[in-house]
Structure 1
Amino acid sequence: MIYQNLLLEKEDRIAVLSINRPKALNALNQDTLIELKAAVNEIKDDPGIDVLIITGAGDKAFVAGADIAFMQPLSGVEGRAFGALGQEVFRLIEAMEKPVIAAVNGFALGGGCELAMCCDFRIASASAKFGQPEVGLGITPGFGGTQRLPRIVGPGMAKQLLFTAEVIDANEALRIGLVNKVVAPEELMDTVKKIAGKIIKNGQIAVRLSKAAANEGCQTDIDRAMTIEADLFGLCFSTLDQKEGMQAFIEKRKATFTGK
């Protein structure tokens, strides 16, 4: 598929998906969300890709937010439909079995912060800025921000950011646990690709089951979560990757995983 608002590159089992509307600071309109859904489905179904990196084109913005010019004239019904579309696409990213890393290279505000939060974790450029400034526009976050932000940084800090519309820098995002690491802008993509490379070296069935266990377990009580973990742990022992990984350990060699 040819994308008008995205750039998609695939190399060495890594896909890099860039939101590409630099004149609009990569703001998300309806067409971009529809393309994003199609691209994520393409990556999800591509057996040659094990890790997805999401970033923004240019050096100013990851995603500066949802497109305000697009949203301003919407009715209540239309606004809800737009929010539901954003939620659907971001939930698709979050639930994809393959790991997804956000490489946050600039403004990640509103829908951009929400896009970063639906990824498995976030690595930020020192120039990155984060925030949910929607209340300053007379709206709430609509693409999952009110739900994911408390889960990531805790309810108190999340509510402070949601209620004040405060924009924070990368170091503060690191302090509160919104991002895992902050690096110099010129080091961002190399850093994220190195992390992706470490993931790729491991057994991919085990990586994906670990993601499933973590995602599902966080949404339930600890006893049910332990059952989920036990079931997926047991499932690993029906794979060739488990046999190879443990045999390689015994033989003191590197494992050759096949994803089977």
Structure 2
Amino acid sequence: MTLPDYTRILVEELGDRTIVRLNRPEARNAIDLELGRELHDVCARLEETPRPMLLTGADGCFAAGADIGQLLGRGRHEALAGINSSLFERVHRLPMPTVAAVDGYAIGGGAELAYACDIRVASTRASFANPEPGLGIVAGAGATWRLPELVGMPLAKLVLLAGHRIEAAEALSSRLVAAVVEPEELEATAMALIDRMSRMSPIALRLSKYVLDADAVHPYADLLANALLFEDEEKKERMQAFLDKRSTRSTS
């Protein structure tokens, strides 16, 4: 099957797996609308032809959040549409397992994308964080309910309410990730997990995932909270200050 000419991701389809690399190095792989559209296209392919997916980031970074420049311009209607939330839920509901290989930053929406995957492995320099309240919004793409399920409520509250970052060692001890390895070993470690999956019955693996994922989580509260916050002036001021600060750093 011929792949489209993606501009934000690199995709390699092997016989029994698909490898996806987020590829916006100039923005530390921040998730913008076009990257989201391209991931939706990959999901459609994996729904049609189920196979495990390895998801990682190019250039030593998983994803440093959603694109703040685009978030700044979004209002309540975009918040209720759940642009990233619906994408990450689609990733989570893919018929075959997903493995996130996290190197460097997994921040904000980048962390939420990693949380949506079935299994995570990390490099020694991996760092997970959800700083959304500092930008005047809620972590509205899954962190408020996925992270407590993954690491427990006390650590999740520390991350979501106090700006705590989960570095590699704590990610391993809290079982957020299955393994921590040196950066040069990261992709091979993730591939080894998929090798183990490939030796199993594909239909049994698929049904096991369906049963494990059979829950009643509905992230509408996230969407409603951000529908209010996306119209708030403080959100706009905080995001504009972030963009101005980043622009100043890049020109100095």
TM bucket normalised to smaller: 0.7 to 0.9
Partner of 2:149 in structure 1?
151
- With a CA cutoff of 8 Å and minimum separation of 6, indicate the structure with the bigger relative contact order: 2
Q: In angstroms, what is the RMSD of aligned CA positions? A: 1.5
Structure 2 residue 78 is the aligned partner of structure 1 residue 75: no
Equivalent residue for 2:196? 198
Which residue does the alignment assign to 2:21? 18
Compared CA separation, residues 219 and 78, structure 1 to 2 (3 A): closer
Please name the residue that 1:117 is paired with.
115
Amino acid at match of 2:185: E
State the distance in 2 between where 1:79 and 1:67 align.
14
Q: What is the identity, as a one-letter code, of the residue corresponding to 2:52? A: V
Aligned counterpart, 2:66: 66
Tell me, in whole angstroms, the C-alpha distance in 1 between the residues paired with 2:104 and 2:130: 15
Taking the aligned partners of 1:193 and 1:34, their CA distance within structure 2 comes to 25
Q: Is the 8 A contact 2:66 2:109 kept in 1?
A: yes
1:64–1:110 Cα contact (<8 Å) kept: yes
Q: Where do residues 86-105 of structure 1 align in structure 2 (5 Å cutoff)? A: 86-105=84-103
Q: 1:7 — aligned with what?
A: 10
What's the CA shift for 1:168? 2.1
Aligned residue identity for 2:182: A
Cα distance in structure 2, aligned partners of 1:58 and 1:7: 12
Report the Cα distance in structure 1 between the residues aligned to 2:208 and 2:46, rounded to whole angstroms: 19
* Alignment partner of 1:27 is 2:30: yes
Cross-structure match for 1:235: none
Contact 1:71 1:79 in 2 (8 A): no
What SS does the aligned partner of 1:4 have?
Answer: coil
Q: Which amino acid aligns with 1:10?
A: E
Distance 2:189 2:71 in 1: 35
Amino acid at match of 1:117: Y
- Give 1:219 shift: 4.5
**AA matched with 1:65:** G
| CA shift for structure 1 position 80 | 3.6
Bigger CA radius of gyration? 1
Partners of 1:46 and 1:106 lie apart in 2 by 31
Q: Which residue of the partner structure matches residue 52 of structure 1?
A: 53
Pairing partner for 2:40 from 37, 40, 43: 37
5+ residue gaps, structure 1: 221-260
Q: Which runs of 5+ in 2 are unaligned?
A: 218-252
State TM-score, norm by structure 2: 0.81
Q: 1:257 aligns to what?
A: none
